[in-house]
């Protein structure tokens, strides 16, 4: 193993930088953290990965990686000590489902709690300005940040941050944070006393947004000390032991969380899949799909939440289904039984086309017009 460290280019403000940073800290993988500047973000990073995006992970052999899940896959293969992937079937599948939910469902909440509360802007302006243009005068940094902020605010409507939905989002967030607080009263991490890939999926929104931005940190996180403690443990890379719950168990405190995931996230996945299959019917095999499709609607806290469909979400769900497809018949039966118990059986009925990741977008695999994950039967 080379002694040269990895390089992580990102911002503490960034949703997915927090996910990867917490992972690296837990795994004790040597890395240099570098605040991504304008040149790296828009020139070098784009040339190496094809995207203007953060975080960027540079390997010791100068391979540039983009996408937090790809980074974790790469690092797990090279640093097997303290694995974050459970070996038992239900915990493994549930942790991948939690990662997908954390990565994809929480984005509107994170952006809403940042951009609709003005007191957060001073922190964003200060940190983003010094990172983007570190040697420039402050007034130039502020102008650059204002441009970036306008671009990010321009995304709000697409991800569902619409005035008529503010109250729904606030009520949902309070309820979900209360459920997580109740869980962390009894458990250090989601599945026991050691973090899994599910914890790292969820921590993205909690570390970079809700846990650091002044308004949500004060109003939403501080009144929930056990949630706050979990965020801090994740950031510090601490684990009380090396054990998950015994016998492939999930804590009862997670049952209401997974019931909500199944009642809300799976319908979102189904709605995206419906649009992707409609596009597939008129697109040549292998063609990269648009980053965004049309509006979809799904439940949120007993109401209906609207946003645009992102085909990329299906690639994250495909990661979950791939884990299930690789299991033996007995293991698959356990996962099916668990999914049914939390209302998620519909996930296994979705005919999701086989997808290939292309930067921030996906393509339907050439020659496979409807490559459904095939599950074993007893």
pLDDT in tens, 71-129: 999 999 999 999 999 999 999 999 999 999 999 999 999 999 999 999 999 999 999 99
* Secondary structure string (H, E, C) spanning 85-153: CCCCHHHHHHHHHHHHHHHHCCHHHHHHHHHCCHHHHHHHHHHHHHHHCCCCCHHHHHHHHHHHHHHHH
**Stretch 53-65: mean pLDDT:** 95
Reported as a single tens digit per residue, the pLDDT across 266-291 is 999 999 999 999 998 887 778 899 99
Q: How confident is the model at residue 239 (pLDDT cuts 50, 70, 90)?
A: confident
Instruction: Tell which residue, 78, 60, 80, has the closest CA to residue 8.
Output: 60
pLDDT tops 60 at residue 247: yes
Q: What is the pLDDT of residue 286?
A: 83
Q: How confident is the model at residue 372 (pLDDT cuts 50, 70, 90)?
A: very low
The more confident residue out of 42 and 254 is: 254
d(CA 18, CA 114): 15
Q: Are 117 and 215 in contact (CB under 8 A)?
A: yes
Can you say whether the dihedral through the CA atoms of 348, 104, 232, 176 is positive or negative? Answer: negative
Percent of the chain whose predicted confidence (pLDDT) is above 90: 89
pLDDT tops 60 at residue 367: no
d(CA 142, CA 371): 48
Mean pLDDT, the chain, rounded, equals 93
pLDDT tops 70 at residue 133: yes
Cα dihedral 82→85→86→89 (10° resolution): -160
Reading the block at residue 269, the tokens are: 């996945």
Reported as a single tens digit per residue, the pLDDT across 317-351 is 999 999 999 999 999 999 999 999 999 999 999 99
Q: What is the pLDDT of residue 1?
A: 46
SS3 369: coil
Burial of 74 (0-12, 13-18, 19+ CB in 10 A): middle
Q: How confident is the model at residue 369 (pLDDT cuts 50, 70, 90)?
A: very low
Instruction: Tell which residue, 86, 104, 80, has the closest CA to residue 338.
Output: 86
Q: Give φ, ψ of 332 to 5 degrees.
A: -60, -40
d(CA 318, CA 96): 10
pLDDT tops 60 at residue 174: yes
Percent of the chain whose predicted confidence (pLDDT) is above 70: 96
SS3 249: coil
Q: How confident is the model at residue 365 (pLDDT cuts 50, 70, 90)?
A: confident
């Amino acid at each position: 193993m080379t002694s040269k460290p990895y390089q992580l280019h990102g911002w503490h403000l960034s949703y997915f930088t927090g996910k990867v940073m917490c992972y690296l800290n837990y795994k004790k993988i040597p890395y240099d953290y570098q605040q991504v500047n304008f040149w790296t973000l828009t020139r070098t990073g784009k040339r190496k990965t094809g995207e203007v995006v953060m975080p960027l992970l540079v390997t010791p052999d100068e391979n540039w990686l983009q996408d937090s899940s790809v980074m974790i896959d790469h690092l797990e293969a090279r640093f097997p000590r303290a694995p974050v992937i459970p070996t038992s079937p239900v915990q493994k599948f549930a942790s991948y489902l939690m990662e997908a939910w954390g990565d994809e469902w929480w984005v509107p909440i994170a952006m809403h709690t940042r951009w609709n509360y003005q007191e957060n802007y001073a922190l964003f302006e200060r940190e983003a300005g010094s990172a983007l243009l570190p040697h420039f005068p402050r007034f130039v940094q502020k102008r650059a940040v204002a441009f970036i902020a306008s671009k990010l605010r321009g995304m709000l409507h697409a991800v569902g941050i619409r005035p008529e939905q503010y109250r729904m989002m606030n009520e949902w967030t309070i309820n979900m944070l209360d459920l997580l607080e109740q869980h962390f009263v009894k458990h250090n991490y989601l599945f026991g006393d050691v973090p899994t890939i599910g914890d790292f999926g969820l921590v993205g929104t909690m570390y970079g947004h809700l846990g650091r931005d002044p308004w949500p940190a004060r109003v939403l996180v501080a009144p929930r000390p056990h949630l706050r403690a979990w965020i801090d443990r994740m950031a510090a890379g601490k684990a009380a032991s090396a054990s998950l719950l015994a016998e492939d168990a999930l804590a009862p405190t997670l049952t209401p969380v997974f019931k909500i995931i199944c009642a809300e996230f799976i319908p979102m996945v189904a709605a995206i899949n419906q649009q992707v299959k409609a596009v597939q019917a008129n697109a040549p095999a292998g063609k990269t799909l648009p980053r965004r499709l049309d509006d979809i609607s799904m439940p949120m806290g007993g109401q209906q939440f609207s946003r645009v469909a992102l085909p990329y979400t299906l690639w994250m769900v495909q990661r979950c289904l791939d884990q299930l497809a690789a299991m033996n018949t007995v293991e698959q039966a356990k996962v099916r039984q668990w999914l049914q118990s939390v209302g998620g059986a519909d996930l296994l009925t979705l005919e999701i086309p086989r997808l290939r990741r292309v930067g921030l977008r996906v393509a339907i695999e050439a020659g496979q017009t409807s490559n459904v994950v095939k599950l074993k039967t007893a």
